[in-house]
Amino acid sequence: MPGLSVLEIIEMVVDFLRGDKSTLSACATVSKLWLTRARYHLFRTVQIVIRDPQWNLESASNFFSTTPSICSPVQHIHIRAARVMKLPMIGMDDMVGVWPVPQNGADLRQICRLLQSFPNALSMDLEGVYMELSPKMLAVHMNTLVSPSLRKLTVREVLMPSAAFACVFNLTNIFTELDDLSLVNLLFDTAGVVAGLDRPPPWGGDFKVSSLLLRHVSGLLSLLPHTAFRNVRQLDIPMLSLLIPDAARFLIPLYDTLEQLTLAVGQFGLNDIAKNSFELTLCSRLHTLTFIQTGKAVEPALAILFLANVNACLRLAPSHLHNDGVLIRGKHGLPGAKKALTMLDGNNKFGLKIPYILLTNGGGVSEEAKAADLTSIIGHEIDPSRVILAHTVLKAAASKFADDPILVLGGKNDEVRKVAESYGFKQVYTSLDVLAWNPSAWPFVSLNEEERRTAKPADFSQISLRAALVFHDPRHWSLDIQLLCDMILSDGIIGGPCVNPSGEQAEDGIELVFCNPDLLWKSDFPQTRLGQGAFREAFQSVFMNLTGATYPYLQLGKPTKPTYDYAKRILLDQLSRDTPEVSQPTPQVYMVGDNPESDIAGANHAGWKSLLVRTGVYDPARGPPTHSPTHEVEDVEEAVALAIDMEAGSVSVNQNC
């Protein structure tokens, strides 16, 4: 039976490829048998971990080329060169990450040969790649790498000459079909000028460089067009020979985006920085400066002097707080929740009143009801305008379906109907309405007296439903899955003839929206519980077995872009209303959350700082979080205090004598 099993890491394959020829042959046979027995599964993702600089990528290519039934369905590939090392003289444990060196990175030529076994890949994530190629050869191999089906290419921790990067960017005929090209943590190995970046990218999607580590910076940044690295937020310059008095002019292209700067300074470096600090204050978003001292001990007074100047660009830091697992658990307030909210309201050592919202993937009730519930539990007054539920974003979509019949799922009785109507939807029905109309629609569920009383009379044989909106976690999964399938296959008329057996979505077909992608959530029960994300997977599995394909849908809630865009808009409106004296149009935003998959992933993708608490879904005993937060803290009180301290300006000094 076809399934959705994921082959996450081919550890067995990687390990045996390190051996000699006899070991390779024996283990290859065993692994092929193991993969053949898994022929009934559709592997969507392959992650290959390179553990050794002598790892034979040619043997790997031979292996995968003999298993086309396994490789053909693969849509996502992640190749990671695991054995990388930090550059000398950095002397920090948390410096940007780890960086590949030429002899330990995976050579691009070898990777391209390997990837030819996966002709249908939609996305590739290459981590730890070394691109020491001539422009001509680089073009040849990039043509091989970017297959016609590829839509997203991400290159992380990549070591390349500046000239090679310019060449990659100018391969317009290769990248025109890409939707998204992302370069993360670039390390330029040689000095030079990146040319050809003063125009929009040749592909239709985004071009993102989030951080740079430069070994040689003399003249490089100052000669770049302002648009070259317009998204760079973090810059690290670990060179002993850096002339600090000239550092400010290197930052000119980054004035509007740079948030974190790390400099290696010599014996007199901080004196020179203090003299030039006025220029650095032009970096309007700079909030963290890190010095790596490589000479004598740092004079703290000098650091304080510089901090006083940097504070000229101090701004308020709006915060997002996730409710369940951060402020409350079930019907009980968590330690520090009330104190955290009072700090945001101005009871902190700086006397700052900080705009904040409570962003949650929960719902099923109105924002007013949720605010009242939180106020009662926490003991701190919460205004409904600060509450954004999983389905709050649908307020903006109400006009589209205002006059169309829609089915809303989840919640108790008709509560989600009332919420939808308050948003502006006029013809709203629930699965309980269907069951009251015809109990045979799903004879395994019987309505109780209250459900009958709240059901809305309707003849669904005469109603053409145009959308299904899953507001909250459904109470009767089997009933709701059945009704969703009925709607789609009969083009909106429940109980009508099957007019769409393939389940394809026509241009004016049924629209399906899920408001909460969370697979798990935390309640009073000792273990995490299945959430709406699990319901979505259950529906899609049933639908695939019925039609052979999954059904298109719109996903809202954390960590999706529509939800974060909406939340940011609400925050900025609140900022302009409550603190008109703050002129920063794009202040730093902090997300405090307990779920790495939704809270942290969404915040990182949005470019916010993320603070992961240990009071909810995330359990440190089960290993590191799947998405790395900016900081990991104990609870929400510690998170808010840390965010306020960071936004008041910070200078950290590390010594490497």
What does the alpha-carbon distance between residue 452 and residue 327 come to, in Å, rounded to a whole number? 35
Q: What is the pLDDT of residue 325?
A: 44
Q: What is the pLDDT of residue 143?
A: 61
Supply φ then ψ for residue 66, to 5 degrees: -95, 5
* Termini Cα distance of the chain: 62
454: left (phi over 0), alpha (psi -120 to 50) or beta: alpha
What does the alpha-carbon distance between residue 376 and residue 333 come to, in Å, rounded to a whole number? 9
Contact 260/285 with Cβ under 8 angstroms?
A: no
Higher pLDDT residue, 529 or 480?
480
- Dump pLDDT digits (tens) for 101-146: 333 344 666 667 677 777 788 877 776 655 555 555 555 666 666 6
Beta-sheet pairing, 529-530 with 520-521: antiparallel
Alpha helices (runs of H) in 99-182, residue ranges in sequence order: 108-115, 135-145, 162-169, 172-175
What does the alpha-carbon distance between residue 297 and residue 263 come to, in Å, rounded to a whole number? 15
Residue 657 in tokens: 């004598």
The whole-angstrom distance between residue 6's C-alpha and the CA centroid of its chain comes to: 20
pTM over 0.85: no
Secondary-structure breakdown of the chain: helix, strand, coil percentages, each rounded to the nearest 5: 35, 20, 45
| Most confident listed range (83-97, 257-271, 374-388) | 374-388
In three-state secondary structure terms, 155 is strand
372 CB neighbour count, 10 Å cutoff: 16
What does the alpha-carbon distance between residue 341 and residue 497 come to, in Å, rounded to a whole number? 55
Please, what are the domains in the chain? Answer: 11-184 (3.80.10), 319-390+560-628 (3.40.50.1000), 393-555 (3.40.50.1000)
Contact 468/484 with Cβ under 8 angstroms?
A: yes
The whole-angstrom distance between residue 211's C-alpha and the CA centroid of its chain comes to: 16
Instruction: Indicate the range of 66-70, 201-205, 209-213, 251-255 predicted with least confidence.
Output: 201-205
- Dump pLDDT digits (tens) for 599-626: 888 888 888 888 888 877 777 777 788 8
Half-sphere exposure of residue 655: CA atoms within 13 angstroms, side-chain side: 8
To the nearest whole percent, how much of the chain has pLDDT over 90? Answer: 21
The mean per-residue pLDDT over the stretch 42-64 comes to 59
